[in-house]
């Protein structure tokens, strides 16, 4: 089973991973069980300070989903090909989403700002960015192809809120000049070991609601960013971005469009419980905001095989 479509909460209706498997996997990861395999439940109990009967119950359940297997000596092991850092990241983030929906969804119906802090989570930030990176790798070819068709050959690209850095790394591999902007702590995290800088990515730490790098840029890429904000903040950002886009260049927004794909409606609930103003905004919203911000005609490009759409607008 590949990490991504069939394991993420972004899977299509009827194809989402079993929530019981998601939470069982998270429990095994958080307790250090999967990392300690192969072992018997008794060995794991002694090594990790856990209850042997509980471990056996958990491991037997994970066998049902083919995540582990057991040999004739009662030693459990991860199934061949079943374990990967990408898959673990996707499942662990899925577990966070399940808890968030269970905790916040009812309250948010009455008050959008209720319980705005996320529920307690032991998932490290790098796991969240690994999840985002896994999703991005499936999007990148379609997204960049749409940008090329609309704007032709570009050279200097601003990857706004680039987070995991996968778009910027691919842009650099294609011979372009990417700059990635994100919050300072995010930039520090994802560039550990100079993964991005050595890959040819220029970094600009900073809150893009407060400051933007000097242009001009042939393309500004907003992938997975502006659906986290309300219309007022988006309009303000698009106006400010227009000033650093070169003539003939443009803006590419990778997002979920309301009513365009069934997953977008599900994603809208995730924005409801995870943000104070985000949404799966509609096509009419983007046409209005980008028009008011002074951009030219808007084009839409659906990413093949994915629920996201690229919103493209030129200067």
Q: Residues 10-33: pLDDT tens digits?
A: 888 888 899 999 999 999 999 999
| CATH 3.40.50.150 segments of the chain | 125-314
Handedness of CA 183, 143, 17, 32 (dihedral sign): negative
Q: Nearest 5°: CA angle at 262, between 260 and 267?
A: 95
Mean residue pLDDT across the chain: 91
Cβ atoms of residues 7 and 1 within 8 Å: yes
CA distance 301 to 291: 18
Confidence of residue 83 (pLDDT cuts 50, 70, 90): low
**Which pLDDT score, from 0 to 100, does residue 171 have?**
97
**Which pLDDT score, from 0 to 100, does residue 2 have?**
43
pLDDT, tens digit, for every residue of 111-152? 887 765 555 455 678 888 988 998 999 999 999 999 999 999
For 43, 56, 81, 189, 268, the CA distances from 36, given in Å and listed in that order, are 9, 14, 17, 26, 38
Q: Say if residue 81's pLDDT is above 70.
A: no
CA distance 55 to 60: 8
**Which pLDDT score, from 0 to 100, does residue 1 have?**
37
CA distance 302 to 96: 28
Q: Say if residue 295's pLDDT is above 60.
A: yes
CA distance 37 to 54: 16
| CATH 1.10.10.10 segments of the chain | 1-123
CA distance 117 to 273: 10
Confidence of residue 7 (pLDDT cuts 50, 70, 90): confident
Q: Say if residue 176's pLDDT is above 50.
A: yes
- The CATH-assigned architecture of domain 1-123 is Orthogonal Bundle (1.10)
Cβ atoms of residues 250 and 314 within 8 Å: yes
- The CATH-assigned architecture of domain 125-314 is 3-Layer(aba) Sandwich (3.40)
CA distance 27 to 43: 18
**Which pLDDT score, from 0 to 100, does residue 31 have?**
95
CA distance 288 to 177: 31
Confidence of residue 3 (pLDDT cuts 50, 70, 90): very low
Measured in degrees and rounded to the nearest 5, phi and psi for residue 178 equal -85, 145
How confident is the model over 167-191, as a mean pLDDT? Answer: 96
Burial letters 19-56, b for 16+ CB under 10 A, else e: eebbebbbbbbebebbeebebbbebbbeeeebeeeebb
Strands 76-78 and 68-70 come out as antiparallel
pLDDT, tens digit, for every residue of 239-277? 999 999 999 999 999 999 999 999 999 999 999 988 888
How confident is the model over 171-198, as a mean pLDDT? Answer: 95
């Amino acid at each position: 089973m590949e990490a991504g479509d069939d394991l993420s909460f972004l899977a299509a209706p009827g194809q989402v991973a079993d929530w019981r498997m998601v939470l069982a996997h998270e429990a095994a990861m958080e307790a250090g069980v999967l990392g300690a395999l192969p072992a018997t439940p008794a060995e794991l109990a002694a090594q990790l300070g856990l209850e042997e009967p509980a471990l056996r119950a958990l491991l037997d359940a994970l066998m049902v989903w083919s995540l582990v297997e057991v040999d004739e000596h009662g030693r459990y092991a991860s199934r061949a090909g079943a374990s990967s850092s990408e898959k673990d990241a996707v499942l662990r983030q899925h577990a966070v989403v399940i808890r968030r929906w269970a905790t916040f969804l009812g309250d948010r119906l009455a008050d959008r700002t209720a319980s705005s802090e996320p529920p307690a989570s032991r998932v490290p930030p790098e796991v969240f960015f690994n999840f985002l990176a896994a999703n991005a790798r499936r999007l990148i070819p379609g997204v960049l192809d749409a940008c090329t068709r609309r704007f032709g050959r570009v050279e200097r690209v601003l990857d706004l809120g680039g987070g995991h850095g996968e778009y910027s790394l691919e842009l650099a591999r294609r011979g372009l000049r990417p700059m990635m902007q994100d919050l300072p702590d995010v930039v520090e995290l994802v560039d550990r070991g100079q993964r991005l800088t050595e890959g040819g990515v220029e970094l600009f730490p900073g809150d893009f609601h407060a400051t933007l790098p000097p242009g001009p840029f042939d393309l500004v890429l907003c992938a997975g960013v502006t659906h986290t904000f309300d219309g007022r903040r988006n309009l303000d950002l698009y106006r400010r971005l227009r000033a650093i886009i070169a003539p003939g260049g443009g803006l590419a927004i990778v997002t979920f469009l309301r009513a365009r794909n069934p997953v977008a409606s599900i994603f809208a609930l995730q924005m409801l419980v995870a943000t104070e103003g985000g949404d799966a905004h509609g096509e009419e919203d983007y046409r209005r905001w980008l028009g008011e911000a002074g951009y030219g005609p808007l084009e839409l490009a659906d990413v093949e095989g994915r629920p996201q759409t690229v919103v493209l607008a030129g200067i």
